[in-house]
């Protein structure tokens, strides 16, 4: 890939004290590609690749020596890890620093697709939290949902709303993460089209859009709630200037985050309010271009009427959920059409509030379709970390697992351990999906919309 960086950008970066434009240009000319993954410790604790090295600011993140063909790895499809850019994993370090890791909080990832930061939040906030992942673009919201399903936890609500909609939930969330749409200069090393599309006019357009997104959603934070704001842009108009605008217009304070000097991350300060920001340059930190900052809300925030709802009987036969889920008493179940969903019982009131103001793509986990006599288990249940571990299952080799993931016909001789009925397909002990074992054949129930098409 040929890299010709926009002069207007480099000139502005040169205005920063100590900026090394020669090293910055060189790293883009070299065009080295860095591949990193973050493991899903609810499914796998070991790194499924040799010679991986830890990402220093994320204890679940690892650099890979080269980029494998992830499509050929069943563990990728099973949600054992997420392919995520290392710089953006810094959010994990932030959660530790502001003491939110493992706390039972309500969090909103406002611009969530394709799901990297959402799955990170799910891992570090833990199963006792409630996470809402929103994406305004419908097609991207579908991709987000696919990745959330693979991750396997039921304490997540995926929504498809304009950011302004969340103004209807004032004073509700403890954490608001806005990975704002931006001009994309931090992705120059990875994508030639990012260079081709960059302009000062687009920077201005993005800055105005970022202010709209923040301004229309910021009331959803409680007092003392945290805003994590990030972009993949180098332009101060989209970064430090946005922090100054927030601190001028709203009652927030800037929160510093401790750094290890060996990480190569640059701490910056905004011009007016001296707000702390953190910049990732590819010639200094091992990752792509990234900016992130943390602000805390200090003004009182009025909230909405939280009248308690009267819950009707769900219509789900009591024994159904307990047959398929471990610790089923932690969940409430409900019917949506003929599908059975599970959702954390402690947040069922919250879900009622969401239903009044948000367009919800999916809440919790769809465990299956109820026929009136039996449950037809869904792929979401196979991916769930809450599924029982002693259900009928068949371990497959790599070749057979890929055959299953292509939704091809399976042979009865490969399922000798299960005589009949629903059977989980496993690879290296991890669930991939369902088949139904019949007397003369095996029905492959892997969803056609996520099947491997090209190998």
Average the pLDDT over 141-155 and give the result: 98
- In the predicted structure, residue 308 carries a pLDDT above the cut 80: no
Instruction: Determine the Cα–Cα distance for residues 320 and 43; give it in Å rounded to an integer.
Output: 24
φ and ψ at 324, to 5 degrees?
Answer: -115, -20
Q: Are 241 and 270 in contact (CB under 8 A)?
A: yes
Taking only the tens place, the pLDDT of each residue in 88-118 is 999 999 999 999 998 999 999 999 999 999 9
Phi-psi region of 442 (alpha: psi -120 to 50; beta: other; left: phi over 0): beta
- Tell me how far apart the alpha carbons of residues 85 and 61 are, in angstroms, rounded to a whole number: 9
3-state secondary structure 136-179: CCHHHHHHHHHHHHHHCCCCEEEECCCHHHHHHCCCCEEEEEEE
Is 133 in the active site?
no
Whether residue 4 has pLDDT greater than 70: yes
Asked if 408 and 397 count as a contact pair (C-beta separation under 8 A), the reply is no
Is the Cβ–Cβ distance between 434 and 422 less than 8 Å?
A: yes
Residue among 419, 186, 402, 223 nearest 302 (CA): 223
Rounded Cα distance, 19 and 125, in Å: 36
Tokens of 287: 């990752």
Q: What are phi and psi of 316, to 5 degrees?
A: -90, 125
Q: Which residues of 370-383 are buried (b: 16+ CB within 10 A; e: fewer)?
A: beeeebbbbbbbbb
Task: Count how many residues are written for the chain.
Answer: 455
pLDDT at 78: 98
With 0.75 as the threshold, say if the pTM is over it: yes
pLDDT in tens, 270-301: 999 999 999 999 999 999 999 999 999 999 99
pLDDT digits (tens, 9 = 90+) for 166-221: 999 999 999 999 999 999 999 999 888 889 999 999 999 999 999 999 999 999 99
Q: Has residue 1 got a pLDDT over 50?
A: no
Query: What are the tens digits of pLDDT across the range 329-385?
Result: 999 999 888 999 999 999 999 999 999 999 999 999 999 999 988 899 999 999 999
Q: What interhelical angle do 90-97 and 116-125 show, nearest 10?
A: 30
Q: Say whether 6 sits in a helix, a strand or coil.
A: coil
Residue with tokens 């909405």: 304
| Position 455 confidence tier, pLDDT thresholds 50, 70, 90 | low
pLDDT for the residue numbered 318: 76
Domains within the chain, CATH numbers bracketed: 88-297 (3.40.50.150), 391-455 (3.10.450.720)
Q: Tell me the average pLDDT of the chain.
A: 94
- Residues comprising the binding site for S-adenosyl-L-methionine? 111-117, 135, 162, 179
Token reading at 396: 């497959």
Cβ atoms of residues 43 and 58 within 8 Å: no
pLDDT at 332: 94
| Distance spanning both ends of the chain, measured CA to CA | 24
Provide mean pLDDT across the span 36-61.
96
Residue with tokens 């992830």: 70
**Average pLDDT for residues 12-16, to the nearest whole number?**
92
| 83 compared with 193, residue with greater pLDDT | 83
Rounded-to-integer distance, Cα 188 and Cα 383, Å: 35
Task: Using the predicted structure, report yes or no on whether residue 426 has a pLDDT greater than 50.
Answer: yes
Q: Are 119 and 112 in contact (CB under 8 A)?
A: no
Question: Residues 133, 232, 383, 423: which is the catalytic one?
Answer: 232
Compute how many other C-beta atoms are within 10 angstroms of the C-beta atom of residue 327: 9
> Is residue 32 very low, low, confident or very high in pLDDT (cuts 50, 70, 90)?
confident
The pLDDT confidence band at residue 320, using thresholds 50, 70 and 90, is: confident
Cβ count near 228 (within 10 Å): 24
53 band by pLDDT with thresholds 50, 70 and 90: very high
pLDDT at 3 over 70: no
Residue 2 pLDDT greater than 50, yes or no: no
Q: What is the model's pLDDT at position 311?
A: 67
Q: Three-state SS for 454?
A: coil
């Amino acid at each position: 890939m040929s890299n010709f960086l926009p002069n207007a950008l480099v000139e502005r970066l040169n205005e920063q004290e100590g900026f090394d434009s020669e090293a910055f240009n060189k790293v883009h000319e070299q065009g080295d590609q860095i591949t990193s993954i973050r493991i899903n410790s609810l499914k796998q604790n070991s790194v499924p690749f040799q010679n991986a090295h830890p990402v220093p600011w994320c204890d679940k993140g690892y650099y890979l020596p080269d980029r494998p063909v992830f499509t050929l790895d069943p563990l990728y499809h099973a949600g054992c890890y997420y392919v995520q850019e290392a710089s953006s994993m810094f959010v994990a370090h932030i959660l530790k620093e502001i003491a939110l890791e493992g706390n039972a909080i309500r969090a909103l990832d406002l611009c969530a697709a394709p799901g990297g930061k959402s799955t990170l939040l799910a891992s570090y906030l833990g199963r006792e939290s409630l996470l809402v992942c929103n994406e305004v673009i419908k097609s991207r919201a579908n991709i987000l949902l696919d990745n959330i399903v693979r991750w396997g936890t039921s304490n997540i609500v995926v929504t498809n709303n304009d950011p302004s909609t969340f103004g209807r939930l004032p004073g509700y969330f403890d954490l608001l993460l806005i990975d704002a749409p931006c001009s994309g200069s931090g992705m120059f090393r990875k994508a030639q089209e990012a260079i081709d599309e960059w302009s000062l006019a687009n920077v201005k357009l993005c800055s105005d859009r970022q202010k709209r997104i923040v301004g229309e959603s910021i009331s959803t934070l409680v007092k003392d709630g945290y805003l994590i704001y990030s972009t993949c842009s180098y332009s101060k108009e989209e970064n430090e200037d946005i922090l100054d605008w927030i601190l001028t217009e709203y009652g927030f304070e800037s929160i510093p985050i401790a750094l290890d000097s060996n990480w190569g991350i640059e701490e910056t300060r905004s011009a007016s309010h001296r707000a702390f920001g953190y910049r990732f340059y590819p010639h200094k930190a091992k990752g792509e271009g990234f900016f992130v900052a943390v602000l805390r809300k200090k003004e009182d925030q009025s909230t909405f009427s939280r009248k308690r709802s009267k819950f009707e009987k769900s219509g789900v036969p009591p024994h159904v959920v307990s047959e398929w889920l471990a610790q089923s008493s932690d969940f409430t179940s409900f019917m949506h059409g003929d599908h059975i969903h599970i959702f954390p019982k402690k947040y069922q009131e919250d879900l009622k509030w969401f239903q009044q103001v948000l367009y919800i793509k999916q809440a919790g986990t769809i465990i299956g379709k109820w026929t009136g006599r039996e449950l037809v288990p869904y792929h979401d249940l196979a991916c769930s970390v809450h599924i029982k571990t002693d259900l009928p299952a068949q371990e497959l080799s790599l070749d057979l697992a890929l055959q299953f993931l292509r939704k091809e016909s399976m042979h009865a001789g490969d399922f000798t351990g299960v005589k009949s009925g629903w059977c989980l397909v496993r690879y290296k002990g991890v669930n991939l999906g369902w088949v139904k074992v019949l007397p003369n054949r095996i029905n492959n129930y892997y969803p056609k919309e996520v099947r491997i098409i090209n190998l």
